[in-house]
Structure 1
Amino acid sequence: MLVKTRTILLKTLKYAENSVIARFYTEEFGLESFIINNIRSKKAAINAAHLQPLSLAETDLYQRANANLQRIKELRCQPVLHSLYTDIAKTSAVLFMQEVLNKVIIEKEKNEALFSFLYHHICWADAVPKLPAAYPVYWLVQLSRHLGFFPDIDSWEPDTLFLPAQGIFTHETGHPLYFDTTNAKYLYDLCLAKPETIDSIGISASYRRQLLDALLHYYRLHIDGFGEVKAHKVLAEVLA
């Protein structure tokens, strides 16, 4: 069955001499993998330029029930992304986001809200003149809303700690794992912020690094097999 859907490229793997297996997050079907042949041919309808990290496309695909690998008839990069692949800070953020998404999106399941969130944020990051230094931290916080462990903002009060295992803010001390009061307040502010208001929170480089490490640990607590994110060390330096 030929179907049209919007797609987000999550990953490519070399397959044989001149082919790749491309992993897309699709609006209609969730996670799908496709085999794309003759990727390096000058006459190829789909080439490496179409397969940039987190690239967005309008895709005509052949959907076969219970098939592990699908095939694409046509892929049109729309909208065309520009600065994500020419601005070093944005490129570092994209590679970080891509690595995280490949760890958290593991099931073939349609999720319109998650797709819309990712699509909107990729477009916004490409369009904005300069990516806010705290954007990757903000993005992790907002992504957790779609993964089922968004912090309980109703429990926040001034001078509370944040307990990542429970996902709540509290005045209780003695817990082995917690965000201190400063990081907890920044977390609360990030929960309420919009992309264009991130800079107004005023998170210093030191606290951005702390929050990035703490949030990745938060993800490891709530997602089995999440593991280490290699791209975050480079990201922390670029967005310092």
Structure 2
Amino acid sequence: MLVKTSAIVLSALKYSESDIIARLYTKELGTQSFILKGIRKSRKGKLRISLFQPLTQLEIETQHKGKGSLEYIKEARVIFPYDHVHNDIVKSSITMFFSEVLTQLLTEQQPDSDLFEYLSSVFQYLDQSDQVANFSIKMLLDMTGFLGFQPDQSTLQFTYFNMLNGNFDENGLQPHHLTDVESAQLKLFIGTNFDGIHEIKMHREDRNSLLNLVIEYFQIHLQTFKKPNSLSILRQLFD
């Protein structure tokens, strides 16, 4: 079945001296893996290795077999050319972080048009925004909504966030609870849209601490989720 679909590159791994395997999240097919033969050495083909940088937004044409094996891309073109994502050191570091995160989260993801449109729009925001210090925390919290463990906003009137139950309560410093200060910082991001996150002022130490806690929250609710290797780079980016 010939399928034309929008797609976001999650990762691309060297497979041989001339091939790569690219993992894409597609609007029509969900997460798919493709083998791209000869792309690391070819300069004349329709498919170029530059098309498969992390988070690149493409339109692809593929002969989908649906057998769970590696598939092939016939044609690909960029549908949203980034201006900064791949050549700005800060944004490229965030890009590598979310390449790792999404490669873990979307391993067998089925088609979800809402999730696809969210990812497409949020990476366009990352490319165009001048203030992205709080981007990673906000996006991770948004992803919890798609994955089924979003913090319960109906309990925001309570003081302490319970990492295990995903809600706020008054149980104090019990196991799996954030402190009152950490919980208050988390609340600043819940319900805030991307246009407002630059108004959340935090020192680097506090931001890094909250980012670590959000990643811990993922690890509690997704037992296979591992701390991304690029997290150490992300921690050094902002004042």
After TM superposition, the score normalised by the length of structure 1 is 0.95
Q: Among all aligned residue pairs of Structure 1 and Structure 2, give the percentage whose two residues are the same amino acid.
A: 29
RMSD: 1.3
Length, aligned pairs only: 238
Q: Which residue of 2 aligns with 1:201?
A: 200
Q: Which residue of 1 aligns with 2:91?
A: 90
Contact 2:4 2:62 in 1 (8 A): yes
Question: Any unmatched runs of 5+ in structure 2?
Answer: none
* 1:163-200 Cα shifts (integer Å, max 9, x gaps): 11110101112412222112212212211111110021
Identify the range of structure 1 (175-184 vs 27-36) with the bigger mean alpha-carbon deviation: 175-184
* 1:145-170 Cα shifts (integer Å, max 9, x gaps): 11111100111116x01011110101
Distance 1:65 1:22 in 2: 16
Contact 2:62 2:74 in 1 (8 A): yes
Distance 2:199 2:88 in 1: 22
Q: Which residue of 1 aligns with 2:46?
A: 45
Give runs of aligned pairs for residues 12-161 of structure 1, distance below 5 A: 12-39=12-39, 40-128=41-129, 130-157=130-157, 160-161=159-160
Contact 1:90 1:131 in 2 (8 A): no
Contact 1:10 1:23 in 2 (8 A): yes
Question: Residue 223 of structure 1: CA displacement?
Answer: 0.7
Counterpart residue identity of residue 137, structure 1: I
After TM superposition, the score normalised by the length of structure 2 is 0.95
Question: Any unmatched runs of 5+ in structure 1?
Answer: none
Q: Which residue of 1 aligns with 2:234?
A: 235
Contact 2:57 2:78 in 1 (8 A): yes
Counterpart residue identity of residue 180, structure 1: T
Query: Cα distance 1:174–1:185, how it changes in 2: closer, same or farther (>3 A)?
Result: closer
Q: Secondary structure at the match of 1:177?
A: coil
Counterpart residue identity of residue 135, structure 2: Y
Distance 1:104 1:67 in 2: 18
- Structure 1 outlier segments of 4+, above 3 Å: none
Counterpart residue identity of residue 98, structure 2: M
